Amino acid sequence: MLAAMIRTFCAAVLVTACSMSASASAPPLQPVSTPGAGCAAVTGPPPQSAPPTSVNTLRQAYFCVLDNYYSGPVMDSRALLKSALAAYTQDLIRRGADRAGLRLPALTGNRDTDWAAFAKVLGTGDPAALRAAITGMVAGLHDNHARWVRPTPPPEGGPVGTGIVGVSAGQGPQFDPAARPPLFITRVLPGSPAAKADIRPGDIMVKVNGVPTVIGDTVNHGIIDVFASDPVRLTLKRPTTGRTRTVELRQGPITRQPPKVTSKKLPGGAIYVQLPGFYEGAADQVIAELQSKPEAVVLDLRGNGGGSPREVTRLLGAFAHGKVTSYFCPLKGDCVPNRTDDSVPLLGSRLVVLTDRACASACDDFSAAVKDNALGTLVGTRTAGAVSGPGEGYLLDDGSVLILPKVRHLGPDREIIDTIGVPVDHYAPMTALDLATGRDPGVAKALTLL
Do 69 and 166 sit in the same domain of this protein?
A: no
Which residue range(s) make up the domain with 320?
Answer: 267-385+421-449
Residue 394 forms part of a structural domain: no
Which has the minimum average pLDDT: 212-216, 223-227, 413-417?
Answer: 223-227
Whichever domain contains 241, its CATH number is 2.30.42.10
Q: Which of 149, 169, 198 is the last residue of a domain?
A: 149
Q: Give the pTM.
A: 0.87
Instruction: Name the domain count of the chain.
Output: 3
99 and 201 share a domain? no
For the chain, the straight-line distance linking the first and the last C-alpha, in angstroms and rounded, comes to: 36
What is the pLDDT averaged over residues 222-250? Answer: 91
Residue range 246-259, pLDDT digits in tens: 999 999 999 888 99
In terms of Cβ atoms closer than 10 Å to its own Cβ (0-12, 13-18, 19+), residue 290 is middle
- One domain for residues 274 and 332: yes
Answer whether residue 411 is part of any domain: no
If asked whether residues 49 and 95 sit together in one domain, one would say yes
pLDDT at 151: 78
| Sequence-distant (≥ 6) Cβ neighbours of residue 17 within 8 angstroms | 154, 155, 158, 159, 160, 161, 254
What's the rounded Cα separation, in Å, for the pair 407 and 105?
Answer: 32
Q: Which of 149, 176, 204 is the last residue of a domain?
A: 149
Q: What is the structure's pLDDT at 264?
A: 96
Tell whether 103 and 216 lie within a shared domain.
no
Q: Which of 275, 289, 340 is nearest to 312 (CA)?
A: 340
pLDDT digits (tens, 9 = 90+) for 153-202: 777 778 889 999 999 988 866 788 888 899 999 999 999 999 999 999 99
User: In this predicted structure, what is the pLDDT of residue 46?
Assistant: 65
Q: Is residue 400 domain-resident?
A: no
Q: How far apart are CA 80 and CA 128, in angstroms?
A: 18
Q: Are residues 109 and 44 in the same domain?
A: yes
For 92-145, the DSSP string reads HHHTT---TT--PPP--S-HHHHHHHHHHHHTT--HHHHHHHHHHHHHTT--TT
Average model confidence (pLDDT) across the chain: 89
